[in-house]
Amino acid sequence: MNCCDNCGANVPDGAIFCHICGVRFPEDNADLDRMPQEFRAGLEREKLDLAVLTGQEKTYLKYANVSTIVDVGEIKLGLGLNELSQLLELFVNKIQRNRSFQAAIPRTLSSSEPRDFVEVRTIDNIHVGLPHGQGLTSKMPFSTTEKTVISKVETALTELEKSAGRVLDDPGLYMKMGELDYMAGRPENALNNYKKALSIYGKRIDPLNIAWCNLKLGRVHNFQGRFIKAQKRFLQAERLFTDIDDKNGMVASYLDLGHIEHDMGNHQKATEYYYRSMKMNEVLGNLENMSATLSSLGDVAKELGNLREAMDHYSSSLELDRKTGNIGGMGSDYANMSGISCQRGDYKSALDYASKALEIAKEFGDKPALSNAYGSLANVLFKMGDYERTMDYAERSLKIDLASGNRKGISVNYTQMGNVAAARESFKTALSYYERSLEIDMELGDRGGISGCYKNIGIIYGMKKEFYRARDCWNKAYDLRKEMGRDTADLEELMVGLPEQCHP
């Protein structure tokens, strides 16, 4: 046995590189370039395998030689099917390792309303605490390098499909690609890849993976605001999980069904699914999932105006997260408790809770959670009428989201900044921010966000006495709400207040 000079690990005699840190041993440096091509390719693939197993992203990207992924040359496409699958696994695993931090982004993020009428905005549903990594906590913003690699992987995958003349017989590869597309905010690409995986699993008669495909397809439809399609997929998944008695899958489907019923305004059904999830988690002893479910129950209570009940659920979730050491979950709990305190008018407590969420994000250097904490502080300060500091924190949040490419976060921040401009009666500026938000939500296919933008834009036109324009925007928002099965009472109230000549 030899000892690695870099990390001190024991390695077998004759080893070419360390199996722990991946460093190449000095004695093989001089001869590597003179090795036969096939042997060099074998070594590179071996290094790729070890980099994935040890989670070394930089080592992996170095040996993957991403600049030649799609070059038809010495090693045919640079990365073959196996290496593509490994690269995708690397990114998915990387995000899963960040789940505890990503949980600090609450399921909903509200942009507070000036003069009590601007839309409360809801961002993507975030399904936390799903078992065995089957679901990811949120859409993880990617770095520029990662985006480049994913783009090249997509191109290489397309080239391999063209070469084979068919869809590749690797459903796991399409599942991983779909997961990355979903988290990167590319829902149509995600749907396409999940459907390819579903087709292959269907031919294999694999009920477990058919169920997971349906669940993931449902999540994409939910993100797009296509609630009926999402509900059908979730119900299909729940039936399959029940038939094969996969309790982890049942828990995940109950939580997703609860979210979709919540989004459709069916609070009683949502609560029933959440309690089914709680009961199953108690059987499994899964405290992390119990915490996530309690948080969802808090969301329903909050929406129904039961603020004390909501605070109790969030506090119970915090207690479980402390017990399990889920630091990111604690950040989410503090953000939720900040929102409740803000609604109660207890701004001091709201600021304290938001500050605790900020401390957690800073301590662990987690940019998405940091962006969210800044957003929470901006919400509280807006309610307090401190527009200067509201803009300061909204701009900090926006800067992080722009750098990471988190388009939904960018949209939410533009809405918050539009709210400030509206409160200051800077109507032109407010419209500019709301229209930027609308453009992003349209690109994402987020119909809930689009509806909220139209409502906000209509309110600005109403304040400018441009009533026909206001009516047209509210009609668009109304039609979208009706399609999604959401409540339209607030829009109807706005339209009733229009001058008589604006009514058909």
- 3 state SS of 69: coil
- Average pLDDT of the residues of the chain: 76
pLDDT for position 399? 92
Give the pLDDT band of residue 453 (cuts 50, 70, 90): very high
Q: What is the spatial distance between Cα 470 and Cα 462, in angstroms, rounded to a whole number? A: 5
pLDDT for position 31? 42
Give the pLDDT band of residue 162 (cuts 50, 70, 90): confident
pLDDT for position 208? 93
Q: What is the spatial distance between Cα 448 and Cα 121, in angstroms, rounded to a whole number? A: 8
The percentage of the chain sitting over the pLDDT mark of 70, rounded to a whole number, equals 69
pLDDT for position 228? 87
- The whole-model pTM stands at 0.68
At 3, which helix (H) or strand (E)? Answer: strand 2-3
pLDDT for position 111? 33
pLDDT for position 223? 78
Q: Which of 6-20, 55-69, 308-322: highest mean pLDDT?
A: 308-322
| CA contacts within 13 A on the Cβ side of 100 | 12
Q: What is the spatial distance between Cα 301 and Cα 280, in angstroms, rounded to a whole number? A: 21
pLDDT over threshold 70, residue 462: yes
Mean pLDDT throughout 224-232? Answer: 86
pLDDT for position 114? 30
402 Cβ neighbours under 8 A, 6+ residues apart: 410
Q: What is the spatial distance between Cα 182 and Cα 190, in angstroms, rounded to a whole number? A: 5
pLDDT for position 98? 45
- 3 state SS of 24: strand
In the DSSP assignment, the letter for residue 17 is B
**Which tokens belong to 57?**
């992203």
pLDDT tens string 336-395: 999 999 999 999 999 999 999 999 888 877 777 788 889 999 999 999 999 999 999 999
Q: Which residue has the higher pLDDT, 301 or 98?
A: 301
Tally of residues, the chain: 504
Mean pLDDT throughout 37-58? Answer: 47
Q: What is the spatial distance between Cα 310 and Cα 304, in angstroms, rounded to a whole number? A: 9
157 Cβ neighbours under 8 A, 6+ residues apart: 84, 168, 173, 177
pLDDT for position 1? 57
pLDDT over threshold 60, residue 20: no
pLDDT over threshold 50, residue 22: no
Q: What is the spatial distance between Cα 220 and Cα 182, in angstroms, rounded to a whole number? A: 7
Mean pLDDT throughout 29-53? Answer: 45
* CA 11, chain centre distance (Å): 40
pLDDT tens string 108-142: 333 333 322 333 332 222 222 222 222 223 344 55
pLDDT for position 200? 93
Give the pLDDT band of residue 274 (cuts 50, 70, 90): very high
Mean pLDDT throughout 229-255? Answer: 94
Q: What is the spatial distance between Cα 422 and Cα 428, in angstroms, rounded to a whole number? A: 9
Q: Are 55 and 47 in contact (CB under 8 A)?
A: no
Q: What is the spatial distance between Cα 190 and Cα 178, in angstroms, rounded to a whole number? A: 4
β-pairing, 2-3 with 10-11?
antiparallel
Q: What is the spatial distance between Cα 268 and Cα 469, in angstroms, rounded to a whole number? A: 37
Q: Are 276 and 254 in contact (CB under 8 A)?
A: yes
Mean pLDDT throughout 453-457? Answer: 95
pLDDT tens string 395-440: 999 998 887 777 788 999 999 999 999 999 999 999 999 999 999 9
Return the closest-CA partner of residue 301 out of 250, 260, 267, 336.
267
pLDDT over threshold 50, residue 264: yes
The residue with tokens 């690109």 is 443
Mean pLDDT throughout 59-88? Answer: 47
pLDDT for position 91? 61
429 Cβ neighbours under 8 A, 6+ residues apart: 418, 421
pLDDT over threshold 50, residue 13: yes
Q: Are 7 and 19 in contact (CB under 8 A)?
A: no
pLDDT for position 331? 86
Q: What is the spatial distance between Cα 428 and Cα 426, in angstroms, rounded to a whole number? A: 6
Each domain of the chain, given as residue ranges in start order, spans 1-29
- 3 state SS of 125: coil
Is residue 162 exposed (0-12), middle (13-18) or buried (19+ Cβ within 10 Å)? exposed
Return the closest-CA partner of residue 153 out of 171, 178, 133.
178
At 391, which helix (H) or strand (E)? Answer: helix 387-404
